Every structure is written in structure tokens, then in C-alpha cells.
Chain A
Amino acid sequence: MAVQVAGEIQDLRTDEGPEIFDAAARRHAKISGDEFLRRWDDGVFNDTEDEGILRVVMLLPLVRRQSSSAAVIPPRQRSRDKFYEGAAILLARASNRAALLYAKLQHARKDPR
């Protein structure tokens, strides 16, 4: 292994990435790197305000090839968010229609013509 000189940028060896990621996961989340990835994919870590978790997340490029920028929202949470977003839009539309219907009925009561 080449000794790294302080003050220089060293390229990561392919076998180093998982090791460094594992060490960070153990330090900040008290679990192994593999377990962190499993929980990440399951959307367990949805609190990116947790500085320790975020520090592990920032090292995801060491173990995952991602083309999106710093994809911080876990995959499963992303699909959940989409679901809730869709549901909220449907609810809002339904409640708009109900409000419109109610207004029409009120109007019809006041003015039977």
C-alpha cells in the first residue's frame, strides 16, 4: 500500500471504499456498513438532521455508483413520498370539489330559481 503524503489528494483504491464506509457506519450509527445500507434502502434513516447519519450518507459514493447528486433521501422513502404526494393531491382535488358542491347547494337554497 502506498503511504499517503499529508497535503496531497490520494485516489481511493477499490478495496478501501467498503472498509472506510464500514468504519464510518460503526462510528456514527453503531452498525456495520452492510447493515447501514440495508436500513438505508428500507428508508429507516429518514432523519438527515442527524449529523452522524449524514456523515455516513456522505460516504455513499464509496460503495454505490449514483449519478444523482448526493441522493440523500433513501429509495423507499422517495417512493413513499411520491405516494403521499399523490394522495394529498387527490384529497385536495376531492375537497375542492366538495367545497364547490357545498357552495352551489347553499346558493341553490338561498335562490331556488
Chain B
Amino acid sequence: MNPLRDVMNCFTNRAFLVRSGVEPGINQTLFLRNEVAPLASPIPDLRLYFNFQYQVVPYESPRDSYRVTTTGYIYALQLGDKELFAYHYHPGSRVDGAHLHLYAPAAHLAERFRKAHFPTKRIAFEEFMVLAAEEFGVQAIVPYERENVWRGILAGTQKRFEDHQTWSGRRKPDA
């Protein structure tokens, strides 16, 4: 979970992350104690909502070593209390696969957009933060902003994530 912490620390110095536990085989959650963390940006009052669900599972071999597997997530960018967009993965619900919610400003489409599940591949938290930085002006904080240090950190943590990734987040094919 430290890579997630490292990514978050590039963009906010007010992330109070809490994890529910590390007992193997039990669904756990890593979340922000204040639910959101403020992000630095020219857009005022931009906030990150973050909830990452995981399980600690033993490796086949050696049996006394463990890894963390993702069991769900919500990463959302919000303006004050209003969400702009959110990447979701919450299997077991009506929508099994990873997906995107866009919160459209057009009033007549707002409800349709709010409920639509735009399918995506599984989104790494790093990809989410690069999107926030590149499209919404979220800025890395000191000292990570210098010479784009944060990009190097994110590239490294994302590579580690992809090297160990065991599933894509694609919707299960209909039977």
C-alpha cells in the first residue's frame, strides 16, 4: 500500500490515510480519514476522494509471504462536495467491471450521466492522478513538483503495479 501513499503524497500534504487491517483473507479498506484530501490546483477547492479495497493473500510459494490484491476502489475528483468524475470498481454489484462515472453539467443529461457506467480497463491510481494533473491542473507539491519528480515516482510505482497485476478489471463476459 505504500506506493499508493507515495503517489498521494506527491499531490497533497493533507492525506490522512487509514487502513482497516492486514488480516489475510478478509476484505479491507484503505481510505482518507476526512474522506477527501485537498489538492493544489488553479481550480479552487479541488478535492480527492479515495477508497481502496484490498485483501492480503498468501503467495503459493513461499507460503509465509503475502501480497495485496485489489478488491475494489473509488477514486473521485470533486469540486467542493460536487463530484466531477469518478473511477469505480465494486464487483458484486449490478456492474461487475471497472467503470467511469462522468457528472455532466448539462441539466437534461445529468441524471443519465450520473447513472451511466462507462466501461474502462482497470485504472491504476497513478493513471487517475496523471489525468487530474494534466486535465484539471492538479499540481504536485513541494518537493515533488521540481523537475517533475512526481512523474518519475508515479512511473515507478505504476510499473511495479503492472508487473504484479493479475486481472484487468474487464467486465465478465455474459454467459
List A residues at the B interface (Cβ < 8 Å).
Answer: 4, 6-12, 16-17, 20, 24, 27, 48-49, 51, 54-55, 57-62, 65-73
Which residue numbers of B lie inside 8 Å of A, CB to CB? 1-2, 5, 8-9, 13-21, 25-31, 33, 35, 49, 51, 53, 55, 71-72, 74, 83, 86, 88-94, 101, 114-115
Residues of A close to B93: CB separation below 8 A? 48, 70, 72-73
Contacts of B83 in A (CB 8 A): 51
Q: Which of A9, A17, A49 contacts B5 (CB 8 A)?
A: A9
Of the candidates A10, A11, A70, A72, the one having the most CB atoms from chain B within 10 angstroms of its own CB is A70
26 contacts between A and B (CB under 8 A): A7-B8, A7-B13, A7-B15, A12-B21, A20-B18, A20-B33, A27-B35, A48-B90, A54-B74, A58-B31, A58-B90, A62-B29, A66-B26, A67-B25, A67-B55, A68-B27, A69-B72, A70-B27, A70-B89, A70-B90, A70-B92, A70-B93, A71-B27, A71-B92, A72-B90, A73-B94
Distance of B112 from chain A, by nearest CB (Å) = 11
* Cβ–Cβ contact B74 & A61, under 8 A: no
Known: A4-B16, A70-B71. A58 touches B92 (CB 8 A): no
CB of B110 to closest CB in A, whole Å: 13
Complex-state Cα separation, A34 to B14, whole angstroms: 30
**Docked-complex contact B25 and A7, CB < 8 angstroms:** no
Closest to B76 in A: A51
- Looking at the assembled complex, report how far the CB atom of B80 sits from the nearest CB atom of chain A, in whole angstroms: 14
Knowing that A48-B94, A67-B27 touch, tell me 10 more A-B residue pairs with CB under 8 angstroms: A7-B8, A7-B9, A9-B2, A10-B16, A10-B18, A20-B18, A27-B35, A67-B25, A70-B89, A73-B94
Residues in A whose Cβ lies below 8 Å from that of B13: 6-7
